Chains A and B, each alone.
Chain A
Amino acid sequence: MNVTKIRKDFPVLNREVNGRPLVYFDNAATSQTPTQVINTIVDYYENYNANIHRGVHALSQEATDAYEGARQKIQKHFNAAHPYEVIFTSGTTHAINIISSGYAELLKEGDELIVSALEHHSNIVPWQMLCQKTGALLKVIPMNEDGVLIMDAYDELLSDRTKLVFVNHVSNALGTVNPIEEIINKAHAVGAEVLIDGAQASPHIKADVQALNVDYYVTSAHKICGPTGIGVLYGKEAALNRLPPYQGGGEMIAEVTFEKTTYADLPHKFEAGTPNIAGGIAFGAALDYVNAIGMENIAKYEAELLTYATLALKQIPGLKVYGVAPEKTAVISFNVEGIHPYDIGSILDKLGIAVRTGHHCAQPIMDFYKIPGTVRASFSFYNTFQEIDAMVDAVKKAVQMLQ
Chain B
Amino acid sequence: METINAAQEEIVEEFSLFDDWMQRYEYMIELGKSLPLIDPQYKTDDNIIKGCQSKVWVHADLEDKKLVFTADSDAIITKGIIAILIRVFSNQHPDAILDADTSFIDKIGLKEHLSPTRANGLVSMIKQLKMYAIAFKTQLN
Contact = CB atoms under 8 A, between A and B. Distances in A.
Interface string A234-261: 0000000000000000000000000000
Given A357-B53, A358-B53, A401-B22, A340 B75 contact: yes
Contacts of B25: 346-347, 350, 401
Interface in A347-403: 347, 350, 357-358, 372-373, 401-402
Interface size range on B against A: 10 to 19
A372 B74 contact: yes
Interface in B1-49: 21-22, 25-26, 29
A332 to B, nearest CB: 19
Interface residues of A, number: 14
A372 B73 CA distance: 12
A342 B29 contact: no
Contact of A358 (B29, B77, B119): B119
A357 B118 CA distance: 12
Contact of B76 (A18, A343, A350, A372): A343
Interface in B48-101: 53-55, 74-78
Contact of A342 (B21, B22, B26, B119): B119
Contacts of B54: 340, 342-343, 372
A245 B55 CA distance: 42
A340 B21 contact: no
B22 A350 contact: yes
A316 interface: no
Contacts of A347: 25, 77
B98 to A, nearest CB: 29
Given A372-B54, A401-B29, A339 B76 contact: yes
Contacts of A339: 76
A357 B74 CA distance: 14
A343 B25 CA distance: 11
A265 to B, nearest CB: 42
Given A342-B119, A373-B53, A401-B26, A350 B21 contact: yes
A337 to B, nearest CB: 14
A342 B54 CA distance: 7
A346 B54 CA distance: 12
| B26, B75, B78, most chain A CB atoms within 10 A | B75
A352 to B, nearest CB: 12
B105 to A, nearest CB: 15
29 contacts: A339-B76, A340-B54, A340-B74, A340-B75, A340-B76, A340-B78, A342-B53, A342-B54, A342-B75, A342-B77, A342-B78, A342-B119, A342-B120, A343-B75, A343-B76, A343-B78, A346-B25, A346-B77, A346-B120, A347-B25, A350-B25, A357-B53, A357-B119, A358-B53, A358-B119, A401-B22, A401-B26, A402-B29, A402-B76
